[in-house]
Amino acid sequence: MADPSELAVRAQFAGVVVSIAHGADERVGAGTPLVVLEAMKMEHEVLAQTDGVVRRVAVAVGDAVEEGQLLLMLEPGATPSDDGGSPEPAASDGPSTAERADLAAVRERHEIGLDAARPEAVARRGERGQRTARANLADLLDKGSFVEYGPLLFAAQEQRRSREELIARTPADGLVGGVGDIEGRPCVAMSYDYTVLAGTQGMRNHAKKDRLFDVAERRRLPVVLFAEGGGGRPGDVDMPIVAGLDCRAFALFAGLSGLVPLVGIASGYCFAGNAALLGCCDVVIATEDSSIGMGGPAMIEGGGLGVHNPADVGPIDMQYSNGVVDLRVQDEREAVAVARRYLSYFRGRGEPGAAPNQHLLRELIPEQRKRVYQVRRVVETLFDEGSVLELRGGFAPGMLTALARVDGRPLGVVANDPTHLGGAIDADGADKAARFMQLCDAFELPLLFLCDTPGFMVGPAAEETATVRHFARMFLTGANLSVPTGTIVLRKGYGLGAQAMAGGGFKAPLFTVAWPTSEFGAMGLEGAVRLGMRRELEAIEDEAERERVFQQTVSAAYERGRGVNMAAYGEIDDVIDPADSRRWIATLFDESSGEWWRRPAKKRPNVDAW
C-alpha cells in the first residue's frame, strides 16, 4: 500500500520504458528526468514535479506501459538521510558552457567554405586583381543581413573524388547565394565562385539557383547575379543524366523578367551558361577585365572555329560598344557600388535631392538653330543633382537613355543627341529607346522624352540595317505603355521621328511642351519645300532667282513651324520657359509611381533582352 505522503508518478501515454534515471532512495530535484518513455519512435522524459526522494520503482527497462500506469513513487521533501539513503548530490553551477558536439560539427562544416579557411584560393583572386564571391556579396549587402541558402552543398562527384576532398575544394558547389538587404530593402543575391571548378554550373548549384529564383518570385525581390565562369560542368557524374537539358534554371530566371529587377555583373571570364543568365538581366554591369561570350575558348575550338585566348572572345571594348554592356566600370568594387545605385531607382520615392540652377537651362540650347550642343548638360541640369545614371552609353550614340530623379522621385529619360547624325533616329537608336521604354513600363517609372530630331535616318545605307522594322519598335512599344509619359521638344521636332519621341504622336503623352528654341514640321523643311514646290521651282529658269524663292519659302516654313505657332494651333500644349520644365515633369508622378512590387502580377511578359 502506498504511503499517504508519497506521490505516484504515472505514464501520460502508452509507450516503452527505455531508461530509468534514478533508482530507489535517490534524491531528485524538480524538473529532473525520472523515466524515459518511447512512443512513435520519439523519446519523452517524465520529469519530477517537486524535490524529493524516489521510494519505489514499479517498472523496468523494456516494459510496455499503458497510459496512467504507475512508474514510481516519489516522497516530496524527504532527504536520503531520513532512511539511510545516498548522500545529496552537489549543486550544479548552471548549464554547461561546453559546445555540443553536433553544433560544433555544423559550425566546422560552415567554416570550411569561408574565405578565411581558403587562403590559397583567396590569394589567387588577389593576384588577378579580383575579389572572392563572398567578398563581393559582403560589399553588396548591408552588414549582417545575408542569409545564405545551401552553403553545405558540394559538387556531385563522389564517384570520382572523396567526400572530404569535395567538401574542402567545392564549397557551396561553386555558387554562393541567399537573401540580404541593400539599403534596408531585401533582394536575392548570388555569385558564381570562380575558385571552385572555374565557376562552372554544377547540378546542385543549378538546383540552388532554382530555389532562389522561386524565393525571388514569391517575395517579389530584385535579383543581383555575379556571373563569372563557364557553362555546364561535365564532371558531375553522380547525377543520372545524359545532357542535362531539362535544367530549369534558365527558364525560371527568364520568367522573372518584367516581374522583378534583374541585375547582372560580369568580371573576368563570363561564358556559356553564365553569359546566358547575364543576357537575361535588365542591366549588365561589366568590369574592364571582363570577357563575355556565349561560347568560351573550349567550345569555340571544339566547334572547329580556331584557338582563341579567353580575353579575346568578348572584351569590354566590343561588348560596351555593341550594346551588350549597359554600365562599364573599372573593377568589382565599382560594379557593386553601381549595382546598389541602379537598384535605388526601383524603390519608389526617396529623399528630395537638390535641384541645379534651372535658369541655366535657358542658355544651353544655342540661338543659332544649326549649332550643336551637349544634351547631357541639359539632362544633368534638369534633374536632381547627381541623380542621373546613363545606361548603354557606349551603344547607339544618337539616343541617350538614363534613370534620374525629380524631387527624389525616379523616372526614365529618353533624349536625342544632336551631336550624332543631327539627332536622327537610326536602327540602333530605336532599339535602345524601345528597350528602355519597356524597362520603365515594367517597373512603373514615368517616362520623359527630350526631343530634338530631324526624323528617322533615311537612305540606302540606313535601309540595309532594317530600319523599317527597328524604327517601328518605338511606335509599338510607345503605343502600349501604361506609365505616364511627357515630351519636351528642345529644338527639332520633325516627322515620324518626333512622333516616336512622344510615344506615337504629340497627343499621346500627358503633355507635349516645347522650349523657345523649338521648331516643327511634317518632315525636314528644306526637303518638304523641294518636294512640295518642285513644279514651281522648276518653272523658274534663272538659277539665282530659283534659289532666292527656295530660301524665302524655307524661311516662311520655319516661321510657320516655330513652337509658338504650333502652340497657337493647339498641336502642342505650350511653349515654356526652360526653367519651368520641372513643374511639368512633376505632373507625371502620383503616389504609387515606381512601386512595382505592389502589383499582383506582371504587366508585360518580359523586358526585351535587346
pLDDT digits (tens, 9 = 90+) for 533-574: 777 777 787 888 887 877 777 777 777 788 999 999 999 999
What's residue 508's pLDDT? 97
Q: Which of the four pLDDT bands, split at 50, 70 and 90, describes residue 438?
A: very high
The answer to which of 153-167, 235-249, 409-423 has the lowest mean pLDDT is 235-249
Task: Name the pairing type of β-strands 52-57 and 27-28.
Answer: antiparallel
Residue range 403-424: mean pLDDT, rounded: 97
Is residue 36 within 8 Å of residue 17, measured between CB atoms?
yes
Q: Which of the four pLDDT bands, split at 50, 70 and 90, describes residue 375?
A: very high
List b or e across 293-326, with b for residues whose CB sees 16 or more CB atoms inside 10 angstroms: bbbbbebbeeeeeeeeebeebbbbebbbeebbbb
The answer to which of 433-437, 502-506, 526-530 has the lowest mean pLDDT is 526-530
Residue 256 confidence (pLDDT) above 90: yes
358-518+562-592 folds as 2-enoyl-CoA Hydratase; Chain A, domain 1 (3.90.226)
Read off the pLDDT of residues 78-95 as tens digits, 9 standing for 90 and up: 655 544 444 444 445 555
Q: How far apart are CA 321 and CA 326, in angstroms?
A: 9
H or E element that contains 214:
helix 203-219
Task: Name the pairing type of β-strands 185-192 and 223-226.
Answer: parallel
- Per CATH, the number for 103-344 is 3.90.226.10
Residue 336 confidence (pLDDT) above 50: yes
What's residue 94's pLDDT? 55
Three state DSSP letters for 136-181: HHHHHCCCCCCEEECCCCCCCCCCCCCHHHHHHHCHHHHEEEEEEE
Q: What percent of the chain has pLDDT over 90?
A: 73
| CATH 3.40.50.1360 at 7-83, yes or no | no
What's residue 86's pLDDT? 46
What's residue 551's pLDDT? 78
Strand, helix or coil for residue 401? strand
Q: How far is CA 194 from CA 119, 134, 188, 225, 276, in A?
A: 14, 11, 20, 14, 17
Mean pLDDT of the chain: 91
What's residue 542's pLDDT? 81
Residue range 284-294: mean pLDDT, rounded: 96
C-alpha cell at position 462: 540606313
Task: Kindly give, in sequence order, each residue whose CB lies less than 8 Å from that of residue 228, ignoring residues fewer than 6 positions away.
Answer: 191, 192, 194, 199, 266, 267, 268, 269, 270, 274
Question: Pseudo-torsion of CA 314, 318, 324, 327, nearest 10°?
Answer: 110
Query: pTM, whole model, 2 decimals?
Result: 0.86
C-alpha cell at position 140: 553588396
Q: How far is CA 239 from CA 18, 200, 458, in A?
A: 41, 16, 56
Is residue 252 within 8 Å of residue 214, measured between CB atoms?
yes
Please state the domain extents for the chain. Answer: 7-83, 103-344, 358-518+562-592, 524-561
What's residue 1's pLDDT? 58
The answer to which of 22-31, 398-407, 581-590 has the lowest mean pLDDT is 22-31
The answer to which of 40-54, 295-309, 340-354, 455-469 has the lowest mean pLDDT is 295-309
What's residue 78's pLDDT? 65
Domains 7-83 and 103-344 alike in fold: no
Q: How far apart are CA 596 and CA 592, in angstroms?
A: 8
Closest CA to 389 of 436, 346, 342, 352: 342
Residue range 390-394: mean pLDDT, rounded: 97
Strand, helix or coil for residue 261? coil
What's residue 90's pLDDT? 45
Q: How far apart are CA 466 and CA 321, in angstroms?
A: 19
